[in-house]
């Protein structure tokens, strides 16, 4: 049977003319060459896009974990401020009912962003406790907070003036917990007790983190990282954050998505929760589509070019493909996505190069957008806290060298929680975008308007003295008035208003950015205390 088929093929080939034999041989050889070329391209492209997808997954996970760490940082700043509050120091030594009601009473807790505040004296006695309901409508009790902390405090002193923070579940809700030993602001007295603060990682806060990170995620209370043996699994090490330690990321690659998991440690040293994240594999999908398109083009080229001489094909196709493959491999190694492959040809190689250049252009643009998104607030479109911190470090360095004035304004939307409760979160988001637009319009090119967090904003004013900063604050107040956004539940104004706290440095001071922010925050506190809808400046 085999001999019969072989003899039949030999007779059919022998009956073909020389030209047909050349064409048939060329099609066969060219088809084989095309297959080899595509295989080599696949080996060059797919690992590159796999690396890009993994980098995008790593960066997205880093933004999520950084957002969770920033929740701890925000609470630690507030906890630290309370711990160095002289009135708090005196209260722990000699409890004052008026002070307690004013600061952690039901009315005070209802308007704060904290879910629990606990005050303990040096004897370990709780002399003050205030709480606000969590998002599940359950209100923490003193025993709930003590039950979490006593195990953590076992064998260590909690009354030291160092802020410590961690994550824990409080009544089935994730929360940040910070505590600091309370000392006199001048540091000349021993601690008088400890102040503990609890703030829930509210659903809206988690949504904001997801929006800023550009990736969906959820917290699993079980906390165990579970791989799937059927998919491609790998691990990456995440660098240490301010409060979160160095974490291990588990990446589970599937056809169109990458699942990312990481275990967050809790206060007690055991696993607090597992962060489950998922990101689409944009570049791998495009690469596979590109390879499929390339295979089709190669097939067409093989049949159309079969009538050309082998020497011409060798010159105009095989060599350029080898050169293109080499350039792609070099591009994959250098990671220079802004490069352009220069093959100005009116044939399939030229079209292929245009497709790759178009893909490189998309890749370059997406990398640029990712870099921009990491420093831009997703909701308002202005700079985020990370960009503000970077710029503040730069301006303080410039101030240390040249001694030109530097001013900072902190802006807080008055009674914004009531606004959200009355008009809903979509309207609240729209209001924040309008406030951000006012700040941007009142800023010069060298100024930086940024979202500080929640309903708080900041404007950094380089080369601006206090008079200039007051002028900008007045422009902001006028801009808010011009917006004329109704706020029926505001006890301050029938329109949405802001309070502004500012500070100006003519020379560098100790403490750097932390001190600059602290002074502006203290001025903001005075503006709120004096009735809101006004600006106040730090006077030492």
Dihedral sign of CA atoms 474, 480, 481, 486 in order: negative
| In contact, 164 and 178? CB cutoff 8 Å | yes
- Whether residue 474 is predicted with pLDDT greater than 60 in this model: the reply is yes
Token pair in block for residue 273? 């929760």
Token pair in block for residue 532? 């809101």
- Whether residue 7 is predicted with pLDDT greater than 90 in this model: the reply is no
The 232-238 sheet, strands edge to edge: 216-220, 271-280, 257-265, 247-253, 232-238
Q: What pLDDT score does 80 carry?
A: 94
Under the banding of pLDDT at 50, 70 and 90, the label for residue 284 is: low
Token pair in block for residue 520? 């502006």
Per-residue pLDDT, averaged over 11-20, amounts to 52
Q: What's the CA gap between 502 and 188, in Å, rounded?
A: 28
Name the helix (H) or strand (E) containing 461: strand 456-462
| In contact, 131 and 109? CB cutoff 8 Å | yes
504: β partners: 407
Under the banding of pLDDT at 50, 70 and 90, the label for residue 253 is: confident
Q: What pLDDT score does 367 carry?
A: 52
Q: Read out DSSP for 26-55?
A: HHHHHHHHHHHHHHHHHHHHHHHHHHHHHH
Q: What's the CA gap between 117 and 159, in Å, rounded?
A: 16
- Whether residue 30 is predicted with pLDDT greater than 90 in this model: the reply is no
Residue closest to 65 by CA, chosen among 233, 234, 221, 209: 209
Q: Give a three-class secondary structure readout of 363-374.
A: HHHHHHHHHHHC
Q: What pLDDT score does 252 carry?
A: 86
Q: What pLDDT score does 280 carry?
A: 84
SS3 (DSSP) at 222: coil
Per-residue pLDDT, averaged over 33-57, amounts to 72
**Percent of the chain clearing pLDDT 70 (strictly above):** 78
- Whether residue 302 is predicted with pLDDT greater than 90 in this model: the reply is no
- Whether residue 486 is predicted with pLDDT greater than 80 in this model: the reply is yes
- pLDDT-wise least confident of 213-227, 235-249, 482-496: 213-227
């Amino acid at each position: 049977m085999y001999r019969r088929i072989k003899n039949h093929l030999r007779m059919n080939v022998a009956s073909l003319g020389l030209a047909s034999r050349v064409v048939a041989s060329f099609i066969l050889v060219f088809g084989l060459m095309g297959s080899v070329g595509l295989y080599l391209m696949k080996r060059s492209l797919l690992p590159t896009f796999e690396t890009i997808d993994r980098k995008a997954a790593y960066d997205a996970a880093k933004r999520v974990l950084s957002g969770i760490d920033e929740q701890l940082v925000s609470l630690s700043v507030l906890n630290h401020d309370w711990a160095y509050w002289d009135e708090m120091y005196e209260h722990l030594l000699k409890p004052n009912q008026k002070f307690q009601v004013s600061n952690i009473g039901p009315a005070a807790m209802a308007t704060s962003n904290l879910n629990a505040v606990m005050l303990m004296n040096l004897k370990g006695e709780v002399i003050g406790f205030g709480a606000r309901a969590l998002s599940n409508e359950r209100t923490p009790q003193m025993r709930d907070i003590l039950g979490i902390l006593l195990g953590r405090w076992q064998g260590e002193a909690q009354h030291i003036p160092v802020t410590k923070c961690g994550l824990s579940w409080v009544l089935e809700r994730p929360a940040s917990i910070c505590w600091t030993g309370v000392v006199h602001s001048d540091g000349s007295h021993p601690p008088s007790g400890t102040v503990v603060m609890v703030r829930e990682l509210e659903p809206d806060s988690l949504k904001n983190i997801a929006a800023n990170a550009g990736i969906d995620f959820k917290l699993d209370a079980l906390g165990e990282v579970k791989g799937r043996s059927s998919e491609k699994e790998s691990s990456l090490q995440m660098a240490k954050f301010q409060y979160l330690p160095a974490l291990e990321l588990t990446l589970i690659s599937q056809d169109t998505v990458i699942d990312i998991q990481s275990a967050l440690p809790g206060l007690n040293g055991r696993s607090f929760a597992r962060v489950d994240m998922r990101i689409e594999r944009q570049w791998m999908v495009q690469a596979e589509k590109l390879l499929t398109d390339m295979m089709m083009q190669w097939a067409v080229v093989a049949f159309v070019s079969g009538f050309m001489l082998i020497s011409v094909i060798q010159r105009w196709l095989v060599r350029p493909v080898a050169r293109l493959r080499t350039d792609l491999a070099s591009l994959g190694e250098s990671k220079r996505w802004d490069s352009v492959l220069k093959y100005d040809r009116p044939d399939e190689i030229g079209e292929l190069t245009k497709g790759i250049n178009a893909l490189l252009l998309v890749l370059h643009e997406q990398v640029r957008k990712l870099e921009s998104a990491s420093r831009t607030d997703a909701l308002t479109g202005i700079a985020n806290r990370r960009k503000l911190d970077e710029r503040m470090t730069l301006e303080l360095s410039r101030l240390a060298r040249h001694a030109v004035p530097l001013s900072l304004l902190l802006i807080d939307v008055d009674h914004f929680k009531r606004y959200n409760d009355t008009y809903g979160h979509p309207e609240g988001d729209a209001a924040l975008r309008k406030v951000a637009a006012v700040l941007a319009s009142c800023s010069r090119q060298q100024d930086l308007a940024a979202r500080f967090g929640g309903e708080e904003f900041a404007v950094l004013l380089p080369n601006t003295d206090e008079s200039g900063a007051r002028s900008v604050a007045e422009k902001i107040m006028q801009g808010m008035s011009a917006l004329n956004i109704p706020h029926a539940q505001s006890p301050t104004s029938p329109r949405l208003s802001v309070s502004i706290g500012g500070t100006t440095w003519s020379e560098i001071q100790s403490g750097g950015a932390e001190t600059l922010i602290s002074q502006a925050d203290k001025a903001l506190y005075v503006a709120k205390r004096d009735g809101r809808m006004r600006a106040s400046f730090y006077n030492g």
